[in-house]
Chains A and B, each alone.
Chain A
Amino acid sequence: MLSLQRQDENPCRPRHFKPPPCAPIVTDTQAHARIETCRTRLLVAAALFIGVFLVIAARLVDVALIPGAAAEPRIGRVARPLLPPPARASIIDRNGMLLATTLDSPSLYADARQVIDPNEATRSLLTVLPGLDPTKVYADLTSGKSFIWIKRHLTPRQQYDVNRLGIPGLQFEHEALRFYPFGNLTAHVVGYSKIFDNRGLGGVERSFDSVLKERHEPLQLSLDARVQFVLRDELSKVITDFNAKGAAGIVMDVRTGEIIAMVSLPDFDPNHPMGVNGDETPDEIKERLFNKATLGDYELGSVFKIFNTAMALDDGVATMTSRYDASHPIHVGRFTITDYHGKDRWLSVPEIFMYSSNIGSARMALAAGEQRQKAFLRKVGLLTQPRVQLDEVSTPHYPKDWRDVNVMTIAYGHGISVSPLGCLTAAAAIINGGILHPATILKVPPGTTPPGERVISQKTSDEMRKLMRLVVEYGTARQAAAPGYVVGGKTGTAEKNKHGRYELTTLVSTFVGAFPMNDPRYAVLALVDEPHGNKESHGYATAGWTVVPATSRIIERIAPLLGVAPVDESSPAIEDALQVKSLIGRRIEAY
């Protein structure tokens, strides 16, 4: 009874609960009050639910209709890098040609336990991979091992062929492969690497090792593969023609210090740096891996007269009309300084440069003195290791105590040995208006000029351009004339110092040139190591007969590639810019 009554008293009771007929009648006021309480509760509950649903609705709109409003990452829209970047970034040249790249190459291995018919498998494998050794393959397939390499690094086509054979038990494992499409062409600059432990062992591969490991985009070098090819091609010809031991060459942009091409011969194939067949001795391999252009240091001979003359002119020791006595050899202690193309008279500065007079240069250097000479060579970077982003760079060798005899020999490039790169970097500064730019192997964005350091005045640079033009017009480098490209330069033929003695038969012939001389853009250095004269050169192996004609051909071939237009060399503007006024009207002697 009690429970029924209670039920009846509850206004919120379910409808099908009918109050028993005997239930006490509830008064109006009581019922009203209860209904009111009930409504309030209902309202509160409803408001709560509405509130919650509104929040859900708002969130739905937020998620579904308003793009980008959600704070959490929108997984579907994020463009994930699909392909994992290669373990080592590619290296490209200034025009985007691939110099080194990492490929994911399939390697073939066998699970010998699954091979059903080793005999047949060997036979069909050899039809698609003819390079394999049949007995070894057969032995491998019958070895019973679960994993044995058959051939590493297949091309995609070979992989397809092997797959098509459908031999059970043959499988592929993908391995990274460092590939150098141009082979020998850029061997020393790009270098080589060991892909198994992802380590660069030479050139850019070594000096940018950590960069290449972390980078995703290719690394762009300042090299131009086409120019590189021309340089290598012509230097190879010099080596063959003159039966030389080796050669080195560099092409540099004098305005930025960018190395456009750098070759050292003999070179190697970075795809097989240790040789293919293993028939080379370790010494030969070492010789091939050696970068003569940066790591080699040579006494460059008369090429140093560029720096000697620039020093004398810039320091005011000499002017273009100064004259020095070159009529007699100089005797210093046990040394005798003579001229190769002796004139036996007093010579003016342009004549000393043009005839490459050792006596005149030595006298000029003596007039300047040891302090000036040392300071100047240090300023143009010839006494310190040249700055470039490569590890294989040699430090110049020069005498510790710099006596008068050293002053004189250094004037014409003996008694100091520098790398070809250091020499060309300094020469570029002399040619380009006097600003020394450190050599760089990375591409400089077009239109920008990296900061440089002024080492000589614009006036001295202008005078040096005239002198270098003179050498090509009338001097030792007449065969470098590449008509139209206004070439200028200086030759140098030095005897190699072997065990403290200079040997007349082992020479290093060098030419440092630039073009176009009225507004220099590119400097070229060509060096040939131990050339031997041939019939065409009348037995001469000096620079004028070896590297100079080669440089002429190099310039003729690369100038159109580099966008240097030929000009009329006899036009008044160019004559005016490059003529040595003091020599006008004077007889220029042959020698």
Chain B
Amino acid sequence: MSRLGSLFWLILVMGSGFAMYMVKYGVQNVEGELAHVRRQTVAAQLEIRVLDAEWNYLTQPERLAALNQKFLQLGPIKPKQLETTIADIPLRPPPAPAPAAPPAELVAEAPAASGPKLPGSGLPVTPVALVTAPYTAPPTPAPMRATGTLDQLFAQIAGGN
């Protein structure tokens, strides 16, 4: 019994010693990593300072004005352009009552060119001319309210042109 007890304690001591050893080296590794990350952070922060300065240097009004002259030729805003404000633009009227025929059918019929004709005119009604249908936003090729990065936005703008 007493030998079994001693063995138990011996194993426990060795086990805890090993665990201690592992934890110690684990901590050392983590600390090394922390120091590394810290150095990286400092380097990144220094870089941010420089980039911030560079950004301000590149966006100084004088340079922007020169670039504007070269590429855009935008002029100062004239008071006339500001006569109407957002508040002056009427809100979109509430949607008209639902059309008698579901729009899906109209769309399906339209390519046949023998679709429903407007009363009094011989023009076939194309899906675009669904005057009675409630307004739907035109499908945008690239969603501009993207949550992506500036680079993606630039890529979109470049792609759009």
Contacts and interface: CB of A to CB of B under 8 A. Distances in A.
B50 A156 contact: yes
B61 A225 contact: yes
A229 B52 CA distance: 20
Contacts of B54: 181
A229 B65 contact: yes
B61 A104 contact: no
Interface string B33-74: 000001001100111011011101101111001000000000
B53 A82 contact: no
Contact of B47 (A82, A156, A560, A566): A156
Contacts of B52: 98, 101
B77 interface: yes
A98 B42 CA distance: 20
Contacts of B121: none
Contacts of B78: 556
B28 to A, nearest CB: 14
Contact of A103 (B49, B61, B65): B49
A185 B46 CA distance: 25
A229 B82 CA distance: 22
A97 B79 CA distance: 27
B60 A104 contact: no
Chain B facing A: main interface SS: helix
Contacts of B56: 97-98, 181-182
A387 B78 CA distance: 36
Contacts of A329: none
B79 A483 contact: yes
A182 B53 CA distance: 10
Interface in A134-190: 155-156, 179, 181-183, 185
A181 B60 contact: yes
Q: Bin the interface of chain B by size.
A: 20 to 34
Nearest to A568: B83
Given A182-B60, A556-B79, A557-B76, A101 B49 contact: yes
B94 to A, nearest CB: 29
Contacts of B50: 103, 155-156
Contacts of A98: 52-53, 56
B85 interface: yes
Contacts of A83: 41-42, 45-46
A396 to B, nearest CB: 33
B45 to A, nearest CB: 4
A104 B44 CA distance: 12
Nearest to B85: A565
A82 B61 contact: no
A482 B38 CA distance: 56
Nearest to B78: A556
A269 to B, nearest CB: 12
A185 B64 CA distance: 13
Contacts of A155: 50
A484 interface: yes
A83 B40 CA distance: 11
Given A83-B46, A98-B52, A182-B60, 9 more contacts: A83-B45, A98-B56, A103-B49, A103-B53, A104-B49, A181-B56, A185-B60, A185-B61, A482-B79
Interface of A: 82-83, 86, 97-98, 101, 103-104, 155-156, 179, 181-183, 185, 225-226, 228-229, 233, 482-485, 556-557, 560, 565-566
27 contacts: A83-B42, A83-B45, A83-B46, A86-B49, A97-B56, A98-B56, A101-B49, A101-B52, A103-B49, A104-B46, A104-B49, A156-B47, A156-B50, A179-B53, A182-B57, A182-B60, A183-B62, A185-B60, A185-B61, A225-B60, A225-B61, A229-B61, A229-B65, A484-B83, A560-B76, A565-B82, A565-B85
Q: Which 5 A-B pairs have the closest CB atoms?
A: A484-B79, A229-B61, A566-B79, A181-B56, A181-B57
